[in-house]
Amino acid sequence: MRIGIQVGVSGRSGNAIDELIDEARQAQTAGLDFWMPQMSDVDALSALAVVGREVQGVQLGTAVVPTYPRHPMVMAMQALTVQPATAGRLTLGIGLSHRVVIEGAYGLSYDKPVRHMREYLNILMPLLHDGRADVTGEELSAHTFSAMKPAGSTPPSVIVAALGSQMLNLAGSLADGTALWMVGPRTIETHIVPKITAAAQRSGRPDPQVVVGLPVSVTADPDAARARAAEIFGFYNNLPSYRAMLDIEGAEGPADVAIVGDEATVRSALLRLGEIGATALSLPVFGTSDERKATMNLLAELAATVGA
């Protein structure tokens, strides 16, 4: 199981790219992977191309880039540009996002999300591996005139934000795995891992990657940390896909699946994720300055002992 941090840029007051480079250097020194979500400000793939060029060795990933605003040919071009810029260290995490974002912000239809992702992967995966696509779908089509694969670029792994059964089937059968967010251990063990693994096996694909994203904080005051998590991450309780996973978990909200406590408690919880099928962790570190420092120290220790 690889250990990584997840770093966003929202709310920063300085130069976001400079700060991301600094944080990637800290991750590299600690032996941690570096994951970045796509929010509404800095473009994650562009940022990772710069970060990966400046910081050697650190593994990079998007968690995740929404598919609807980017045609799969555009997504492939971006990913195949980031790959040679970063010496092949990118994992491309993609996802549907949510109806409130796609329809509310972009003005696009979110009518058939599973069909959208199926057609998207049917175009994206051949483009990344062969540089060509000849697909006519109900929603998405792509017809390349020549190979678009840049010289020296290797295909990144593609993981899909998949929570429901249909999306897990797509991620297992057409992609390399899934990127999870706000999914607790019970749900990972009983719902996520069995379904995506079965889909991969039916399609003759390797065991899928399962990248788990959960907030984490080493703290002497778990109650205060959970209150802080409820404040920071409470928004996700209102999104139907996450709410469904929290219901399976029996969790009232995101604070209940945040990993908080002393070093022993957090270490045990993280190791448990590996035992139930997580292949990588993409962890937003939160808390006070001292709590964040203690958390980073623990993650570095784990990366040295259980990381690939």
Whole-structure pTM value: 0.96
Q: Is residue 219 part of a domain?
A: yes
Using alpha carbons only, how large is the chain's radius of gyration in Å? 19
Assess if residue 239 is contained within a domain: yes
Residue 206 in domain: yes
Model pLDDT for residues 32-72, shown as the tens digit of each residue: 999 999 987 899 999 999 999 999 999 999 999 999 999 99
User: Is residue 182 included in any domain, yes or no?
Assistant: yes
Domain assignment present for residue 51? The answer is no
How far apart, in Å, are the Cα atoms of 14 and each of 35, 108, 192, 193, 290? 20, 32, 38, 40, 22
The total number of structural domains in the chain stands at 1
Q: Which of 5-9, 10-14, 194-198, 272-276 has the weakest average pLDDT?
A: 10-14
CATH number at residue 275: 3.20.20.30
In this predicted model, what pLDDT tens digit does every residue of 135-194 receive, in sequence order?
Answer: 999 999 999 998 887 767 789 999 999 999 999 999 999 999 999 999 999 999 999 999
Q: Which residue segment(s) compose the domain that 229 sits in?
A: 162-308
* 9: pLDDT strictly greater than 90: no
Instruction: Please check whether residue 192 lies inside any domain of the structure.
Output: yes
Q: Residue type at 54?
A: E
Position 45 in a domain? no
- Taking the C-alpha atoms of residue 252 and residue 237, their distance in angstroms, rounded to an integer, is 9
CB 21 within 8 A of CB 58: no
- Domain annotation covers residue 255: yes
Instruction: Judge whether residue 12 has pLDDT over 80.
Output: no
C-beta of residue 164 within 8 angstroms of C-beta of residue 241: yes
